[in-house]
Structure 1
Amino acid sequence: KTKEYMEKKEAGKDVAYDQKLEAMIPVVKREIPLKCHCHRADDILTAIRIANEENIKITLDHVTDARCIIPQIKESGFSCICGPALTHKSKFELANMSFETPNELYKADILFSIITDSPVVPQQYLSLSAALAAKAGLPEYEAIKAITINPAKILGLDNRVGSIKEGKDADFVICTKNILDTTNEIKAVYVDGKKAA
């Protein structure tokens, strides 16, 4: 439907404005990825198949069963957005939920990030989620990258955010300890290089 809608618009034909199809045009043009909500292995594989058939970019969001199909995800080249894992197994799709999944993705050299899926898990527990992934085997530095530079890369914003480097936005916090330490306290917040709090 999006392709038909886009072709008619580009041909100058009179088409009724459709907000949903408008939102899909950048996906069809491969300008942005389609966010695919997929927990189970069969859903992940279906998302990969459709993305390949339609020649679109996607992110695989949640990937609860990723550990079952690591080779297929690796072959796809798509990045994974892991989580939330700090929650109840409240539905069938979450049966295999584990903090071990990020480490398996890391070992396979698959780009991934860790999320809370706020408000499912409140956003302030993002560093705790990364710490629990580190406790389950993910190297500590990789856990920090999973909540900083990796999501920036997945979003295509790593030229501006995700790490501290000359020319970037300079949004960061100063803490009393490692960000993954649950006794850590934030001492200062900087936005665009200026102290905000």
Structure 2
Amino acid sequence: MNVAITGGHVVPVAGTPIEGGTVLVQDGRIVAVGAAVPVPDGVPVVDATGKWVLPGFVEAHGHLGVHEEGEGWAGQDTNEMTDPNGARLRALDAVNPADPGFADALSGGVTSVVIKPGSGNVIGGRTVAVKCWGRTVDEMVVREPVSVKSALGENPKRVYGDQKKLPSTRQGVAAVIRDAFTKAQDYVARRDAAEGGPFERDNTLETLARVLSGELPWCQHCHRADDIATALRLADEFGYRLIVNHGTEGHLIADLLADKNIPVVVGPLFTTRSKVELRHRTLRTPGVLARAGVEIAITTDHPVVPIHFLVHQATLAMKEGLDRTTALESITTNPARMMGLADRVGSLTPGLDGDVVIWSGDPLDVLSRAERVYIEGREVYRHENGEPVVANPYYVEP
């Protein structure tokens, strides 16, 4: 799809803002961003004078489509809580594009989301990055798998402790992870020894082998500082790439995270302190981590916090000490880079997907709204006459 968005205050995020700039998208990709971009004949022109133009936001940790809204049990596919090691599970297989959360995402300027299994299992499964518009998840995929989800702390010990099964303590949770990677190491040794000959494959261990090789990062759900320390310990022991998810008490050990160069997906921030792990939750955490030198992304953990509030979380984190530049990066370039998606999304850069949002004003002002949203150059959302209009992905032009 082709479009030229002209005359707006263009904020590429990965570059200097351009007053009266143009973003040119052809065949679904950004081909030019600048103050004097010639528009080829036949390319539709959208006048964004007086508006702000930004890349689509990237949600680094959500459950869109697997934890559907308004569906109850029928739409709840977040956790396969029958085996603490669900490494073979794929979020891809449970995503329903008809979840209304996808339309909400567009209304908040979110065009890409990394969908993850839940935190009921110690090892939840493979994550997938998708665009927030499409008929089938296969059409929406940006990359699969993106990472492997794992959980420490209260959730898995509650789920399996209630069943009187391993794990019922933090010791047990760590042991499940350690045992899984030990088996994966042995599996890799046997696979290598087979030298391409007959070999009994195991989907669970194949996934963990990709973590051990460094191909896939390990997205570790952990809130308390002691659980974050366990995440660091296990990552050091097995040598995998760690991304801390939630990091509620990350501000208490920000220097340790910075020293080890561990990125943190922070949030959700708009919640009550509903369990022990959250008793130190604060909007100051993103700013403390960033000032310590930790790369951060901000998450809604949708549907814990509605996904269209992603930018508002960044705004309130900024109010509590996060600098403006990092606030925007935390929902664009940072999550894209953390999740290995920076070659596709996260900024207005030539070569990337044409995911562009026209805002009525500064998106970090809570009164601004996303007025038009483009995914790969196709207009998929518009707000006009006080009403949102989402393009129907099932409509095929005659």
TM-score (norm 2): 0.48
Relative contact order: is structure 1 or structure 2 higher (C-alpha 8 Å, sep ≥ 6)?
2
Matching of residue 155 in structure 1 with residue 155 in structure 2: no
Indicate how the Cα distance of structure 1 residues 74 and 9 shifts in structure 2: closer, same or farther if over 3 A, else same.
Answer: same
Specify the code of the residue in structure 2 equivalent to 1:129: Q
Q: Runs of 4+ in structure 1 displaced over 6 angstroms? A: none
| 2:283 alignment partner, SS class | coil
Matching of residue 75 in structure 1 with residue 225 in structure 2: no
State the match for 1:104 in structure 2: 288
Alpha-carbon displacement from aligned partner over 1:116-140 (angstroms, at most 9, x marks no partner) = 1112112111111111101111122
Matching of residue 34 in structure 1 with residue 190 in structure 2: no
| 1:35 alignment partner, SS class | strand
| 1:189 alignment partner, SS class | strand
Specify the code of the residue in structure 2 equivalent to 1:10: D
Specify the code of the residue in structure 2 equivalent to 1:90: S
> 1:62, 1:82 within 8 Å by CA — same for their partners in 2?
yes
Number of residue pairs matched?
197
| 1:196 alignment partner, SS class | strand
| 2:374 alignment partner, SS class | strand
| 1:103 alignment partner, SS class | helix
Cα deviation, residue 195, structure 1: 2.7
Specify the code of the residue in structure 2 equivalent to 1:8: R
| 1:130 alignment partner, SS class | helix
State the match for 2:208 in structure 1: 24
Larger radius of gyration: 2
Indicate how the Cα distance of structure 1 residues 14 and 89 shifts in structure 2: closer, same or farther if over 3 A, else same.
Answer: farther
Specify the code of the residue in structure 2 equivalent to 1:18: D
Aligned-partner Cα distance in 2 for 1:81–1:11: 38
Bigger fraction of residues in strand: 2
Q: What value does the CA root-mean-square deviation take over the aligned residues?
A: 1.5
Bigger fraction of residues in helix: 1
Cα deviation, residue 8, structure 1: 1.8
Identity of aligned residues (%): 37
Aligned-partner Cα distance in 2 for 1:15–1:116: 42
> 1:169, 1:191 within 8 Å by CA — same for their partners in 2?
yes
Q: Which residue of the other structure, out of 171, 174, 177, is the alignment partner of 2:355? A: 171
State the match for 1:10 in structure 2: 192
Specify the code of the residue in structure 2 equivalent to 1:154: M
Cα deviation, residue 147, structure 1: 0.5
> 1:8, 1:14 within 8 Å by CA — same for their partners in 2?
no
TM-score (norm 1): 0.94
Indicate how the Cα distance of structure 1 residues 187 and 73 shifts in structure 2: closer, same or farther if over 3 A, else same.
Answer: same
The more displaced of 4-13 and 138-147 is 4-13
Alpha-carbon displacement from aligned partner over 1:82-125 (angstroms, at most 9, x marks no partner) = 00111111110001111101101111121110001112112111
Cα deviation, residue 16, structure 1: 4.6
Mapping 1:112-151, distance limit 5 Å: 112-151=296-335
For structure 1, the 5+ residue unaligned runs are none
Cα deviation, residue 158, structure 1: 1.4
